[in-house]
Amino acid sequence: MGKSGYQVIARKWRPQTFADLVGQDHVVRTLSNAIARERIAHAYLFVGPRGTGKTSTARIFAKALNCTDGPKADFDPADPSCVSIAEGTHLDVIEIDGASNNGVDQVRDLRETVQYAPAQGKFKIYIIDEVHMLSAAAFNALLKTLEEPPEHVKFVFATTDPQKVLPTIVSRCQRFDLKPIPPPLIIERLHKIADEEQVKVSAEALESIARMADGGMRDAQSILDQMISFCGTDITEPDVLDVYGLVSAEKLAELAAAIAAGDHQKLVAVVDECDESGRDLVRLLSDLQAVVRTALLNAIAGGGKSTQFGPELTTEQITRLLDALREGEGGVKLGLAEKINLEVTLLKAVEASRARAIDSLIKEIAALAEEAPATEAGEKKKA
């Protein structure tokens, strides 16, 4: 029998304290201050994309409330109460999956159990994940309890889709929006994990993983886990690019330069190369938009012009280029001929970047027209 104690990195490195939460300083600060000032609300709603720490924040908050001598924000994660909450065995911290417990009967059961006093800790805490999956009847059954819960009860809801949560529920909660985690913070965290796991990962590989994660720490950790399985203890950028079909930063810069220069042959050759090497063309377009956006910000900061791609482009030209890439996104994603649609989108982007807005042309013509009479009048006087 082999060992069965392996834990995936995303679970092993799940945040256990407020200090472990990455990229959500505004949430940590507000919750810590609420605990310190004894202004703890009866219901909280954590909103944000997947993998940004909603459920982890809920569990950490539960630890802070039910730790020994709590509530306190700087609790000891080795405290028996905190350990049992982390393991899911604490009697007073009840985690409910909103997707599979979304009926009115389950909520009625909850309404009955909230009346009982806590068995272990100071509070009875209900964490409902994916709360937007509750039915309308279940939401309505929860309303009265949520409005006037017993003093020993706290509700913590988590959702990726707040629009589906009834406004009457949202209005009874303190809402916290967890933001996508910036790539530098993801890279920093992955670097720390790699060191602890004794895995060598190149800086370029970490950047590619952070790019793939789209602001989700859990996604980044899962990708790193998969790369360790694929490569062993030495991970390089080409490995990540091959496994996930990404295009390198150099190749993206090369493609952007071809678009800026209007080099149609180069553009088609780069797309051919990416397609033949099995790259994800939808992802290529998405990453290219991010590169062009960087050039747009560069142009705005540089007084309206940028030479990031070689030829000088104005803010207007880069905006038109970015708009053309965005408009072609649907065709590349959903069209039958992915490669052809990408090539057409890029060629349209070249033409868009060279086009001029009619209003700017009118302004230029008007300015020239104003200068012309003055020049003619000067010439007549000389004559």
Q: Tell me what the mean pLDDT of segment 17-25 comes to.
A: 92
> Is pLDDT at 142 greater than 90 in this prediction?
no
User: In this predicted model, what pLDDT tens digit does every residue of 78-120 receive, in sequence order?
Assistant: 999 999 999 989 999 988 888 787 777 788 888 888 888 888 8
How far is Cα of residue 360 from the mean position of the Cα atoms in its chain? 37
For residue 381, the model assigns a pLDDT of 55
Question: CB within 8 A of 346, min separation 6: which ones?
Answer: 255, 259, 267, 271, 325, 328
Q: Tell me what the mean pLDDT of segment 263-283 comes to.
A: 90
SS3 for 59-128 is: HHHHHHHHCCCCCCCCCCCCCHHHHHHHHCCCCCEEEEECCCCCCHHHHHHHHHHCCCCCCCCCCEEEEE
Which has the closest alpha carbon to 179: 223, 128, 214, 148?
Answer: 214
For residue 202, the model assigns a pLDDT of 92
CA distances from 184 to 194, 203, 239, 267, 336 (A): 15, 11, 21, 30, 36
Q: Which CATH class is domain 183-244?
A: mainly alpha
User: In this predicted model, what pLDDT tens digit does every residue of 303-338 receive, in sequence order?
Assistant: 888 888 888 888 888 888 899 999 888 888 887 888
Q: For 238, what's the count of Cα atoms within 13 Å in the CB-facing half-sphere?
A: 1
Backbone angles phi, psi at 24, to 5 degrees: -125, 45
Which has the closest alpha carbon to 311: 261, 250, 254, 256?
Answer: 261
Domain residue ranges of the chain, discontinuous segments joined by +: 9-177, 183-244, 249-358
For residue 2, the model assigns a pLDDT of 42
Architecture in CATH for domain 9-177: 3-Layer(aba) Sandwich (3.40)
Helix (H) or strand (E) holding 43: strand 43-47
> Is pLDDT at 1 greater than 70 in this prediction?
no
Across the beta sheet with 174-177, the strand order is 93-97, 124-129, 153-159, 43-47, 174-177
For residue 358, the model assigns a pLDDT of 64
User: In this predicted model, what pLDDT tens digit does every residue of 205-260 receive, in sequence order?
Assistant: 999 999 889 899 999 999 999 999 988 889 999 999 988 888 888 889 999 999 98
Place 356 in a pLDDT band, splitting at 50, 70 and 90. Answer: low
Buried b (16+ CB within 10 A) or exposed e, 52-77: bbbbbbbbbbbbbbbbeebbebebeb
> Is pLDDT at 187 greater than 90 in this prediction?
yes
pTM over 0.75: yes
Which has the closest alpha carbon to 320: 360, 287, 268, 266?
Answer: 360
Amino acid at 116: Y
For residue 68, the model assigns a pLDDT of 87
CA distances from 160 to 26, 41, 197, 222, 348 (A): 18, 21, 31, 19, 35
Helix (H) or strand (E) holding 12: helix 9-12
pLDDT > 90 fraction of the chain, expressed in percent and rounded: 44
* CATH annotation of 249-358: 1.20.272.10
